[in-house]
Amino acid sequence: MNPVERLIRAVDRAQQRRTSLAVGVGVVKKYGDDRGGLLAALITYYGFVALIPLLLLLSTVLGFVLHGHPGAQQAVVDSALADFPIIGDQLRQNVHTIQGSGLALVVGIAGLLYGALGIAQVLQHTMSEVWNVPGLKRPGYWSRLARGLALFAVLGTGLIVATAAASLITTTLAGTSARVGALALSALLNTALCLACFRILTAQQIATRSLLPGSSIAGPLFTLLQAFGAVLVTHQLRHATEVYGFFATVIGLLSWLYLVAQVTVFAAETNVVLARRLWPRSLVQPPLTESDQEVLESITRQEERRPEQHIDVAFEDPAQGVNGEGDNPTG
């Protein structure tokens, strides 16, 4: 064993003995096992594509729900656009309510729903991948469609509640107290909203209590991204604007959306690791820990697509071989 490998194995043994470190390593490893980066990229892409249809849909629905209250309608729309750094002002100037006859309005809303449902489908796929739900047990098309509509309803309701709460704090407090109070309330509301969304997006066989840890992590992080995302993205694009011009704003929005997607996937992975006690994980193999084997087995079993299909997974000691004599069989 060379000195570098000896050092890595010493670090590996140390992290496996400490629960806090082992859980963190377990989350990162599970993220890699599930190709979390690819899942986050898919969420980012479909989120970007669905952004304008969702904003148009929100504005149109609010026109019906808050008819006669244009101030309240504009407050909710402004609150939604405020979550998008850099490009929020441009969206505010170009997103309007759909107008027209009754039939044209119905067709327009249906088209917006169809265009926006892609992000709901991808989010459900992500949760199924993270929880390694076998294909046979995943929801069908109509169930996914209903969940997507429920997701939009929850997000819209949460946005209205958050706007009302922010207005209440602004009118009752001032200065630093209002700022701190708004952040604290936003973190609480975002946590509740994350829990509701995770519940809608995750397979029914997963208990709701298993979704609490990730929601408690994601809620405050989303609040921080909303509060300081513009500063972070602006810093990253300080020099990009000189090269890319207006397109740098698109890069900034994509960067922010990718951060949101990363938080979502890591929060979901945290739920899985804690619910199934998938730690400690090994940094170097062999040997595989029991948690390593459980994760690999779950990833393999999720490929079951038919009731008559059954996948069995077995592990062998590489030092012994399958015959226990140190050699693998041939043929």
**Element containing residue 5 per DSSP (H, E):** helix 3-17
Place of tokens 């989350």: 27
Q: Got the DSSP string for 194-223? A: HHHHHHHHS-TTS-GGGGHHHHHHHHHHHH
Q: Mean pLDDT over all residues of the chain?
A: 82
What are the tokens at 43?
């969420």
End-to-end C-alpha distance for the chain, whole angstroms: 32
How high is the pLDDT of residue 331? 37
What is the DSSP-derived secondary structure letter of residue 312?
-
CA–centroid distance for 40 within its chain: 7
What are the tokens at 320?
């012994």
Whole-angstrom Cα Rg for the chain: 24
Question: What is the pLDDT confidence band of residue 278, given thresholds at 50, 70 and 90?
Answer: very high
- Rounded to an integer, what distance in angstroms lies between the CA atom of residue 200 and that of residue 124? 8
Question: What is the pLDDT confidence band of residue 329, given thresholds at 50, 70 and 90?
Answer: very low
pLDDT average, residue stretch 51-64: 75
What is the DSSP-derived secondary structure letter of residue 321?
T
CB 302 within 8 A of CB 134: yes
CA torsion sign for 33, 37, 40, 42 is: negative
- Give Cα separations from 80 to 51, 55, 129, 159, 203 (angstroms): 11, 8, 29, 7, 28
pLDDT average, residue stretch 269-280: 96
Domain ranges of the chain: 34-254
- Rounded to an integer, what distance in angstroms lies between the CA atom of residue 101 and that of residue 106? 9
How high is the pLDDT of residue 238? 60
CB 26 within 8 A of CB 279: yes
Greater model confidence, 93 or 22: 22
Per-residue model confidence as pLDDT tens digits over 6-50: 999 999 899 999 999 999 999 999 999 999 999 999 999 998 888
How high is the pLDDT of residue 232? 63
How high is the pLDDT of residue 324? 44
pLDDT average, residue stretch 132-141: 90
**pLDDT over 90 (residue 246):** no
Q: What are phi and psi of 330, to 5 degrees?
A: -115, 165
Q: Provide the CB-side half-sphere exposure for 41 (13 A, CA).
A: 5
What are the tokens at 172?
């009752």
**Cβ neighbourhood burial of 66 (10 Å; 0-12, 13-18, 19+):** middle
Name the least confident of 72-81, 96-105, 159-168, 201-210. 96-105
- What is the maximum span of the chain, computed from C-alpha positions, in angstroms? 82
Greater model confidence, 69 or 253: 253
CB 183 within 8 A of CB 227: yes
**pLDDT over 80 (residue 229):** no
- Rounded to an integer, what distance in angstroms lies between the CA atom of residue 282 and that of residue 28? 12
